[in-house]
Structure 1
Amino acid sequence: MRTTRSGMIARAFAVVVASCVLLASEVSTASAGTARYPVPFTFAANVLGAAQPYTDPPGSNDWSCRPSAAHPRPVVLVHGFASVANDAWQTYAPLLADEGYCVFALNYGVPEGTPFPLDQVGGRTPLEDSATQLAAFVGRVLTTTGAAKVDILGHSEGTQMPDYYVKRLGGAATVDKYVALAPFWRGTNAAGLATATRLAARFGYAPLVDGVLDAACAACRELLSGSDYYTALGDPVVAGVSYTSIVTRYDELAVPYTSGIEPGMHDITLQDQCPLDYADHFAILSDPVAAADVLNALDPGHPRPVPCVPVPPFLG
């Protein structure tokens, strides 16, 4: 029987998809009979998570969990801007729980008294206030689990706000590994906003622009490159904390993406490992390539191979 060109393309596509599923499943060694939670490697799972407000990501916030000798530090997940834990960590919470970690995820940055559904848009209050929330949450995790330190896994704003906790609120003594997905260590110029605010200041419109931004999102202006927040914090690297920074060339919100590359950190650009990886700022949250890097960063004594599989933008 003659094979049509469209049939050949469909067959090749099926092979690629099957290969992706196989390789993605190999990211977690826990899948061999010990997994308790399904691990979806698609950002669509986070979109569906948003439809379940006031719930925790699978595998997280089990306050009876006690760290093991293999993984003595709980992992605290810190979501990004306009997010909450349940629509950010549908991949990493179950993945890490299946690996044997105690996993905890907080919500932060929602102005007090905010009604539903706006209370599902986190990361809006000043970063300093959110860092105070993180400090209290980490304190509860340490007290409950009996651990001496935690590891932090953050995404976007959740890579930046903990920097204040580490530097100003005693976090340097309680954080061992600091793993960042899509960070921008000295601010972002997404959509040219940092440039626009500087131009507004030059022409005397800073009070107007700042008032508009702060009313909607007090954290937003702080996250722009050149802000007073970054000027005050200075060098993001703190002695005694082990940093891993994982960036993607296709990041549309951490601009430029190289703002996530910092001397003194273990810097990883996903496309240097896998040219098939087109993950953007959102898809990195469900990227099996990045997931292997995260697992290796948290447990460098037991490295595993990093897969190279096709990863599309956004939905992953």
Structure 2
Amino acid sequence: MRRLLIAALSLVLSAVALGAAPPALAAGTPPDPVVFVHGANADPGVWGEMRADFVRAGYPEDRLAAWSYDTRQSTNEVLSGRLASYVDAVLARTGASRVDIVAHSLGSLPSRWYVKFGGGADKVGHWASLAGPNHGTTTAWACALWNQACKDMTPGSYVLTRLNSGDETPGATRYGTWSSPCDGVIVPVSSTELDGAVNTRAEGCPTHNGLLTDDTVSRQVRAFLTRP
């Protein structure tokens, strides 16, 4: 008996040291599709490593999608409307009733707008923001005069004022954010956090784009998405 207890304790300590793995996907029950939303001046290719992590964790390839959009356009009605159409297409293709959204940086804004104002509240189960400028970033002032995305990301912009008015995490959607003190792009780092969300400071101090490929962040995001 003592040996069994010691072995069990060793397994627990190992899990703590390595970071607990997310719950296994239920056999025979496909997970909600995941829609990845990239940031400014990027494309769906940035999700390559995280997407591979999801596949290794048991997500079928056809339940993983990445939305591509022109980051020079406004992140409110224009882009959120296009995201709504994309989500509807994913739901129609998979037969699912809702999706989960994982967004990086600028991608947090059109996806939040979609959930809060664009009809996504009943179609998005979980919304995860990696390094999102959810309360603005001072670095955006450097390009705000000629770039719409930068303008939308400036503190106090029209988009952010609307998004952060009232409840920052409305509806039944579960919200999660990940930030890093070594981000360097989102200033201040606390901008990413939202009232009512599960706010996580990444371990190991990854950079802004490093959050996309960080193994611990990837594991934590998957664990968040599997929460009921």
State the TM-score, normalizing by the size of structure 1.
0.60
User: Which letter maps to 2:74?
Assistant: P
Instruction: Write the letter of the residue equivalent to 1:226.
Output: G
Q: Which one of 148, 167, 176 corresponds to residue 218 of structure 1?
A: 148
SS of the residue 1:178 aligns to: strand
Structure 1 residue 76 corresponds to structure 2 residue 25: no
Q: Which has the larger radius of gyration?
A: 1
1:242 aligns with 2:181: no
Matched, 1:291 2:218: yes
**Distance in 1 between residues matched to 2:171 and 2:131, nearest whole Å:** 22
Q: Secondary structure at the match of 2:48?
A: coil
Distance in 1, matches of 2:57 and 2:79, equals 29
Q: Which amino acid aligns with 2:67?
A: L
Q: How well do the aligned residues superpose, as a CA RMSD in angstroms?
A: 2.4
SS at match of 2:200: strand
- Tell me what 1:182 maps to: 131
Aligned to 1:143: 92
Distance 2:150 2:54 in 1: 30
What is the CA deviation profile of residues 137-158 of structure 1, one whole-angstrom value per residue up to 9, with x for unaligned ones? 1010001100000000010011
Q: Percent identity?
A: 29
5 Å-filtered alignment, 1:12-51, equals none
Give the count of matched residue pairs.
204
1:232 aligns with 2:193: no
Superposition deviation, residue 71 in structure 1: 3.9
Q: Which 4+ stretches in 1 moved above 4 angstroms?
A: 26-30
For residue 279 of structure 1, the aligned residue among 206, 210, 224 is 206
Which residue pairs with 2:6 in the alignment?
none
One-letter identity of the residue aligned with 1:219: A
Q: Residue by residue, what CA displacement relative to the aligned partner does 1:84-126 show, whole Å, maximum 9, x if unpaired?
A: 101x1011112112323310001102xxxxxxxxxxxxx1111
Alpha-carbon shift at residue 270 of structure 1 (Å):
1.4
Q: Contact 2:36 / 2:67 at 8 angstroms: preserved in 1?
A: yes
Would the aligned equivalents of 1:244 and 1:267 in 2 still touch at CA under 8 Å?
A: yes
CA distance in 1, matches of 2:28, 2:192: 32
Normalising to structure 2: TM-score of the pair? 0.81
Return the offset for 1:69: 4.6
Q: Which amino acid aligns with 2:56?
A: D
Distance 2:131 2:195 in 1: 16
Of the structure 1 ranges 221-230 and 146-155, higher mean CA displacement relative to structure 2 is found in 221-230
Match of 2:10 in 1: none
Pairing of 1:96-245 with structure 2 (within 5 A) = 96-101=54-59, 102-109=63-70, 123-128=71-76, 129-190=78-139, 193=141, 212-213=145-146, 217-233=147-163, 234=165, 235-245=167-177
Q: CA separation in 1, counterparts of 2:150 and 2:50?
A: 25
Gaps in structure 1 of 5+ consecutive residues: 1-22, 31-66, 110-122, 197-208, 272-276, 302-316
SS in 2 for 1:91: helix
Q: Determine the C-alpha separation between the residues in 1 that align with 2:56 and 2:23.
A: 9
Please name the residue that 2:14 is paired with.
Answer: none
2: CA distance between counterparts of 1:190 and 1:69? 46
Name stretches of at least 5 consecutive residues in structure 2 with no aligned partner: 1-17
